[in-house]
Structure 1
Amino acid sequence: MSCKGFGQVKDTLNAETEKIYPKGEIVSRYHNNWTQRYYPKRILAFKAEPLRFGEIVFLGNSITEAGADWTSKFGIAHIRNRGIAGDLTDGLLKRLGEIIYFKPKAVFILIGINDLFSLHHLEDNPALVYDKTVSSPAYVAKNILKIARKIHRGSPDTKIFVRTILPIRRQYLKADIILVNTIIKKNERKGYYKVIDFHAHFKDDNGELPQELTNDGVHLNDKGYAKWVSFEKAIIEGIRLAK
Structure 2
Amino acid sequence: MKKKIKVILIALLITVLLELIALVGFKAYQIINASLNQDVSEDTKDETKDKKEDGKNDKSSALISSTPATSSSVTGEPELGPVDISYFDDALFLGDSRTVGLRAFGSFTNSSYFAKTGISVNSFFIYPALDEETGLTLTQTLLQRQYKKIYIMIGVNDAAIVPIEDFEAQFFDAIRQIQELQPNAVIYIQSILGVTKNKELGDPYHYNNASVLARNELLKSRCDGKSLIYLDVFSVFSDYEGYLDSLYSNDGLHLNSSDYAAWCDYLLAHGLPVE
| 2:103 aligned to which of 63, 68, 72 | 68
| 1:202 aligned to which of 232, 237, 249 | 237
| 2:152 aligned to which of 84, 93, 109 | 109
- Residue 118 (structure 2) aligns with: 86
Deviates more, 1:180-189 or 1:139-148: 139-148
Distance in structure 2 (CA, Å) of the matches to 1:61 and 1:68: 11
- Residue 218 (structure 2) aligns with: 183
Q: How far apart are residue 141 of structure 1 and its match?
A: 2.8
- Residue 42 (structure 2) aligns with: none
Which SS does the other structure have where 2:124 is aligned?
helix
Deviations 1:131-182 (A, max 9, x none): xxx4x12212332222222212222101110111112112651221122111
Which SS does the other structure have where 2:112 is aligned?
strand
Task: Return the TM-score normalized by structure 1.
Answer: 0.62
Distance in structure 2 (CA, Å) of the matches to 1:179 and 1:141: 11
Q: How far apart are residue 195 of structure 1 and its match?
A: 0.6
Percent identity reads 23
Q: How far apart are residue 81 of structure 1 and its match?
A: 2.4
| 1:100 aligned to which of 142, 166, 173 | 142
Is 1:219 paired with 2:251? Answer: no
| Residue segments in structure 1 that go unaligned for 5+ positions in a row | 1-53, 120-133
Which SS does the other structure have where 1:151 is aligned?
helix
Distance 1:190 1:143, change over 3 A: farther
- Residue 91 (structure 2) aligns with: 56
For residues 131-170 of structure 1, the aligned pairs below 5 Å read: 134=162, 136-169=163-196, 170=200
Distance in structure 1 (CA, Å) of the matches to 2:114 and 2:244: 23
Q: How far apart are residue 223 of structure 1 and its match?
A: 3.6
| 1:232 aligned to which of 218, 243, 267 | 267
Distance in structure 1 (CA, Å) of the matches to 2:225 and 2:268: 25
Q: How far apart are residue 231 of structure 1 and its match?
A: 1.1
Distance 1:78 1:209, change over 3 A: same
Distance in structure 1 (CA, Å) of the matches to 2:152 and 2:177: 13
Number of equivalent positions: 168
Task: Return the TM-score normalized by structure 2.
Answer: 0.55
Letter in 2 for 1:78: N
Question: Is the Cα contact below 8 Å between 2:92 and 2:114 reproduced in 1?
Answer: yes
Between Structure 1 and Structure 2, whose CA radius of gyration is higher?
2
Question: Is the Cα contact below 8 Å between 1:152 and 1:192 reproduced in 2?
Answer: no
Distance 1:191 1:145, change over 3 A: farther
| Residue segments in structure 2 that go unaligned for 5+ positions in a row | 1-88, 129-136
Q: How far apart are residue 69 of structure 1 and its match?
A: 4.2
Distance in structure 2 (CA, Å) of the matches to 1:97 and 1:114: 21
Question: Is the Cα contact below 8 Å between 1:213 and 1:222 reproduced in 2?
Answer: no
